[in-house]
Amino acid sequence: MKTVKRIIRAILRRVHFVSLNVWIPIRRTWTKEPKRFCIACGRNVPRFLPYRGGTTPGFIDAVAVVGSDVQNFSCPRCWSHDRERHLLLFFEAFELRPKVTHKRVLHFAPEHSIRKLVESCGPSE
């Protein structure tokens, strides 16, 4: 049994987290970088992943789009995007829970985390 645990530990030390064409060594990422908090999943993460490996469409730079952070785009645990996290922060900052309770809500293209939040408020059918 100890041999199996040692083998698993050795494999895990060499495994790299692959996401959106970004290779991040687990040991370096999970221990040395400052932690961030994802409001969507409620967990600390070492960092948010960049949009499509850190490349941005040229028009975003050309028109100087404000609001989206392409370097800290998605959560590596729940895959929520920066827009979802901003909406959740807005929802909490303006205390919108009581305003949604027992009301009719129309949510276009519902994100998973926001849908869960709205459903937990108990909107009317």
**pLDDT tens digits for 4-21?**
777 776 666 555 333 334
Residue 59 forms part of a structural domain: yes
Question: What's the domain range around 36?
Answer: 2-120
Residue 43 forms part of a structural domain: yes
pLDDT of residue 19: 37
DSSP state of 16: E
Bigger pLDDT: 57 or 31? 57
Residue 28 forms part of a structural domain: yes
pLDDT of residue 94: 92
How high is the mean pLDDT of the chain? 77
The model carries a pTM of 0.63
pLDDT of residue 108: 86
Residue 10 forms part of a structural domain: yes
Question: CB under 8 Å to 88, separation ≥6 — which residues?
Answer: 39, 40, 113, 114, 117
Residue 125 forms part of a structural domain: no
Average of per-residue pLDDT across 38-64: 80
DSSP element (H, E) containing 45: strand 43-45
Please give the structure tokens belonging to residue 45.
């993460």
Query: How many separate domains does the chain show?
Result: 1
